Homo-oligomer: A and B are copies of this chain.
């Protein structure tokens, strides 16, 4: 159903080489892997000599790799809006600016989410109907048709934001998962209306009037069993949930390997454990995904990404560019906005 854009020229992606726990080493390594496998043209943005040092360790024969010098780096713990303003020459800001200026078709960063968000908002803005971007994806492989919104881009939300999350999640489910009229549930501590704290209760009221396919509250156990296509929650809760399942998947996979041990052929065991880990935490394999709602393709990779996750993030970014992720979001959002009523008024 997707109209693929197959450009004549290779897709260009700017890579914040300085963002992430293992930057720049693993970022550069992952980027080179991606350039080799995916035929993309990459712009590594960051401190020039540090990137060069990393590149020298690798085989880059025949690859199209460009280094874009940045003077600054935004690190975890800085106040995002202030840091982006104060550091226009930081790697994440330059990477974003390249997309705005049409020098890149998309960008990726494993730096602080807040800084990526602000840099993207400042240079690209949002699509009509979204005040702020969200992070939105399935978090459990057992429920691959269930997306969670928001996964950490928005912390401490107001009621109307839950309606935006529901709309964004619905559009994501329609465009990315091919679901025609996605069901939406509000993550809560009980099934009955009236559960939760005041903001959640108000969000329920707004969702009821939103025109979206809202089926009511869902609880924690409804996520892995895929009860609805879109689970809306504050980014605070979503972020804790996705990290919890990642950590749990890792611990459980190690346990399984030790527990099953010699009771199964090692070939079979490896397959089962890898498959299990994917089901527990597909995101750890996927790599980062594009922010949903930015008017440009901006992928957020996990801060602890290694080369393989960076490679996968670039793969996802390329796929989003090719499939017209942003224009499809805009289009479907326009349709949904005719139904939606974020203020809940009659």
Contact = CB atoms under 8 A, between A and B. Distances in A.
A198 B234 CA distance: 14
A243 B244 CA distance: 13
Contact of A241 (B244, B259, B264, B268): B244
A251 B265 contact: no
Given A251-B225, A279-B255, A220 B196 contact: no
A219 interface: yes
A205 to B, nearest CB: 16
A86 B236 CA distance: 37
A222 B241 contact: no
A189 interface: yes
A326 interface: no
A75 B256 CA distance: 41
B189 A235 contact: yes
Contacts of A220: 239-247
Interface in A196-224: 196-198, 200, 219-224
Given A156-B198, A194-B77, A196-B155, A256 B241 contact: no
Contacts of A233: 240
B189 A240 contact: yes
Contacts of A4: none
A241 to B, nearest CB: 6
A244 B264 contact: no
A140 interface: yes
Main secondary structure of the interface of A (DSSP, over half): helix
A236 B233 CA distance: 11
B239 A189 contact: yes
A142 to B, nearest CB: 5
B237 A76 contact: no
A156 B200 CA distance: 10
B251 A252 contact: no
Contact of A152 (B189, B224, B225, B252): B189
A276 interface: yes
Contacts of A143: 251
Given A156-B196, A263-B268, 13 more contacts: A155-B197, A156-B198, A200-B236, A219-B240, A220-B247, A221-B246, A221-B250, A224-B244, A224-B247, A224-B252, A245-B248, A255-B276, A259-B275
Interface of A: 76-77, 79, 140, 142-143, 152, 155-156, 187-190, 192, 194, 196-198, 200, 219-225, 233, 235-237, 239-248, 250-252, 255-256, 259-260, 263-265, 268, 272, 275-276, 279-280
26 contacts: A142-B251, A142-B255, A155-B189, A155-B197, A187-B240, A189-B236, A189-B239, A219-B240, A220-B243, A220-B246, A220-B247, A221-B243, A221-B244, A221-B246, A221-B247, A221-B248, A223-B244, A223-B247, A223-B248, A224-B244, A224-B252, A252-B252, A252-B276, A256-B276, A259-B272, A260-B264
